[in-house]
Every structure is written in C-alpha cells, then in structure tokens.
A and B are shown apart, each in its own frame.
Chain A
C-alpha cells in the first residue's frame, strides 16, 4: 500500500510569507506526528494527533506554528510569517495503533526561507 505522503517535497519562500505543509498518513493509521530536522541533527518533535485530536503540541517552537487534522486523515502544518531560522526538513510520521508505536515516516518537505 501507499506510504506516508508529504507535499510539497520542496518549498522555497521569502521571509515573512506564510506556508502550509501537508501530510497524508498511511490509510487507517490512528496517530500522526510532525517532526523538524535541521541539517546534521536528529528530528525534533513538534506535535502529534490521535485521530483528529491534537494530543501534544509542546514541541511547537512558538505561536507562528500551528497544525490541524480536521477529519482524522491528512494533516496540515502551517507556519506564519516565516523566518530564516524556520528552514529545515519537516517530517511527518504515522502509526497504526496507539500502543505499538512503530512510526512510518514520509520523505519530508525541505523548507528554505530566503
């Protein structure tokens, strides 16, 4: 079956613009996670959802970042008034159940803020 899909794969934007990144999880997966990865670093947790409910948003760096998963399927991560420091790879993962926690990752969206 299809894996986790993220779009766009690459996004170049100017400082101050808003961006929206999309994640389509594996069909039927309950949980959806967002991570951010800077060059040479491991991924860092941003937020996650069980079904449509946002369970933990403690990793979102500030209030310019928000995420939603309105119907419990795809999710959108929005960044308002982008800054150069927001440039990174944004990774999405999904897992089938609440207990096993094997997370399957998408290919990511590479965001560059000029």
Chain B
C-alpha cells in the first residue's frame, strides 16, 4: 500500500530565506507526483506536476525534484515571502487517471 510522508510537519522561516520541503513515498512505481498549496479552510491549488519520467519541474520561485528510485521528492522555494505561508501537500498517483495519495502536509509560516 502506497504511503506518503512529509517532513517537517511545520516550518517557520524569516522572509527571504530559501527552503526545502521533503516528501517520501514507499512504492516507487508511481505515475506522477504533484505538489499542492492549501490556504486555511480552502481547497487545493496545484503548484507543480512531475511525470514519473521527469526529474524536476520549475515554476517561478518553485522547483520540484523527483528521485523515483529512492522514493523522494523535494519542493524548493527561493526567496520566501509572507504570501507563501500555507500548507504544502505532496501527492502521488500510481496509475494514469486514478486517485491521488496525499501526505499530511507541511505548514509553512514566513514572517516579515
């Protein structure tokens, strides 16, 4: 059974710092991996999707990497801003078009 773990559970940093969020999964036979952002009481916003054949994806200040063989992904956020404060969720799917399996998330707080 696929399990997704995110470390740390919470993180507080001052504005301007670069930071890394970690995600690990137990079954390396994934189809793709997505990183999401969730603001309190709101739905999920997709940030980056990495197909199993890819190593990384970039969008603005965000960079996500994937090492499928070791079952790990990282989300790198450059020059953090207070507006980045949210919960970041990692999710994998094992087959095309099937359900996502989520970690519990990392709650990020960026202070000004």
Report which A residues bind B (CB closer than 8 A): 4, 6, 31, 33, 35, 40-45, 48, 50, 55-56, 59, 89, 91, 93, 95, 97-108, 110
- Give 20 A-B contacts (CB < 8 Å), ordered by A residue: A4-B43, A41-B104, A42-B89, A42-B102, A42-B105, A48-B99, A59-B99, A97-B97, A98-B96, A98-B97, A99-B96, A99-B97, A100-B96, A101-B93, A101-B96, A101-B97, A102-B34, A105-B36, A107-B42, A107-B43
Q: What residues of chain A lie closer than 8 Å to B103, measured between beta carbons?
A: 42
Q: Does the CB pair B43–A91 fall under 8 Å?
A: yes
Q: How far is the CB of A51 from chain B (nearest CB, A)?
A: 12
Complex contacts, A35 vs chain B, CB 8 Å: 99-100, 102
Complex CA distance for A59 and B99, rounded to whole angstroms: 10
**A-facing mask of B82-94, CB < 8 A → 1, else 0?**
0000000101010
Contact B104 A108 (CB under 8 A): no
Q: With contacts A43-B91, A44-B102, A99-B96 known, what are 7 further pairs, Cβ within 8 A?
A: A33-B99, A50-B97, A56-B98, A93-B44, A101-B96, A102-B49, A105-B45
